[in-house]
Amino acid sequence: MSNLVNVPKNGSLANTNTHTNSNANFPTLSSWLDDVFNIELPSVFSSNFNTGITLPKVNIKETAEAFILEVAVPGMKKSDFHLDIDNQVLSISTETKEENEQKEGNYTRREFGYSSFKRTFNLPESVNDEMINANYKDGILSVLLPKKEEAKQKPARSIKIS
């Protein structure tokens, strides 16, 4: 019996002998590409396996006076956050470690937890980086990014013709 593959005029591959083809256990190129590009990435790429924390959700609002950045990070303390600005890039990061030890009878149980994240934002030239401030309340880190005076929106006005 032959293990030849018939290639029709349309260019697709088709097996002429399905019950004895030694290549039957290998995926075709198209099915392999489908598998590669259609898989769901494991949660380890987007979350911390110790705590289930993912990258926090961020809302950015613009007003006439400022940009307001709101980061949803419940369960943290304000001392857990590090905000830095360097060359018009704002970095928000946290790093928390937790250790629990319980001694009972003849055994000791220890648990360690670690979580961290870092988000960076390129700030527009219109932000006055000397006046940036932040506060943390009810699980929301709010960062106020005031605009420079010349970048603030001016109210509409009428011009009289003389």
d(CA 74, CA 95): 14
pLDDT in tens, 14-49: 444 444 555 555 555 555 445 545 554 444 444 444
pLDDT in tens, 95-150: 887 788 888 888 778 787 777 888 999 999 999 989 999 999 999 999 999 999 88
d(CA 102, CA 10): 69
d(CA 82, CA 117): 10
Q: Which residues contact 86 (CB under 8 A, 6 or more apart)?
A: none
Q: Are 94 and 74 in contact (CB under 8 A)?
A: no
Domain boundaries of the chain, sorted by first residue:
5-38, 48-151
What are the structure tokens assigned to 127, written together? 């932000």
Termini Cα distance of the chain = 100
Report the predicted TM-score, pTM, of the whole model to 2 decimal places. Answer: 0.57
48-151 folds as: Immunoglobulin-like (2.60.40)
